[in-house]
Amino acid sequence: MKHLAAVLLGTGALLASGLVAVPSASATIRCHGSSCNGLNPARTTCANDARTVAEGSGPITAMELRYSPSCRAAWGRFVINAPSGSKIQIKNAQGKGKQYTTYGSGRFFSVMVNDQDVKAWACGMWGKNVDCTHSY
C-alpha cells in the first residue's frame, strides 16, 4: 500500500510539474465522412494518417489538399507563411464548404469536409492572390 501511495504521489508531482503529458479528450475525436464536416483535423484522429493528395496550381503554389483515408475527410492547408487576413476555403461536390480567415501570419489549415465518394478541393486567398488545388 505504501508503494502504491508513493507511485501515485510521484505521478501527481510529475503531472503538476508538466513532465508527464496527459492526452486531452479533444485529441481522440473520431469521425468518418460527413461526421467530420466542420471539425478541426488536429483535434481528431484524422491527422494521424493524413497525406497530401493535391497541390495548388496557381503561379505561387501555396495550397495543398490533405486527405485522411481512415476518416474519408479532406482539408486545405497553406504551405506558405500566409499573411494575416488570408482565407482558406474548403469545398466538396455536395456543396458542403467552409471558409476560414487567418488572424495572424503562418501556415494554416481549414476545417474538414466529407470526402467519402465525393470530390473535394481547397483554395487559398491572400492579398490579390488565389491558389486552388485540383479535386480529389
Task: Determine how many CB atoms are found less than 10 A away from the CB of residue 10.
Answer: 11
Total number of domains in the chain:
1
Looking at the domain assignment, is residue 62 inside a domain? yes
Task: Determine how many CB atoms are found less than 10 A away from the CB of residue 81.
Answer: 12
Q: Which of 13-17, 81-85, 98-102 has the highest mean pLDDT?
A: 81-85
Looking at the domain assignment, is residue 63 inside a domain? yes
pTM exceeds 0.75 = yes
Looking at the domain assignment, is residue 11 inside a domain? no
Looking at the domain assignment, is residue 6 inside a domain? no
**pLDDT for the residue 44:** 95
Residue 18: phi and psi, rounded to 5, are 85, 10
Give the structural domain span for 119: 27-132
**Percent share of the chain, pLDDT over 70:** 79
Task: Please check the confidence at residue 79 and state whether its pLDDT lies above 60.
Answer: yes
Looking at the domain assignment, is residue 35 inside a domain? yes
The three cell numbers of residue 103 are 488572424
| Gyration radius of the chain's alpha carbons | 19
Looking at the domain assignment, is residue 12 inside a domain? no
**pLDDT for the residue 28:** 67
Alpha-carbon distance of 91 to 116, in angstroms, equals: 13
Alpha-carbon distance of 23 to 15, in angstroms, equals: 12
Q: Residue 87 in contact with residue 99, Cβ under 8 Å?
A: yes
Looking at the domain assignment, is residue 22 inside a domain? no
Looking at the domain assignment, is residue 126 inside a domain? yes
Mean pLDDT computed over every residue of the chain: 82
Give pLDDT tens digits for 6-49.
333 333 333 333 333 334 444 468 999 999 999 999 999 999 99
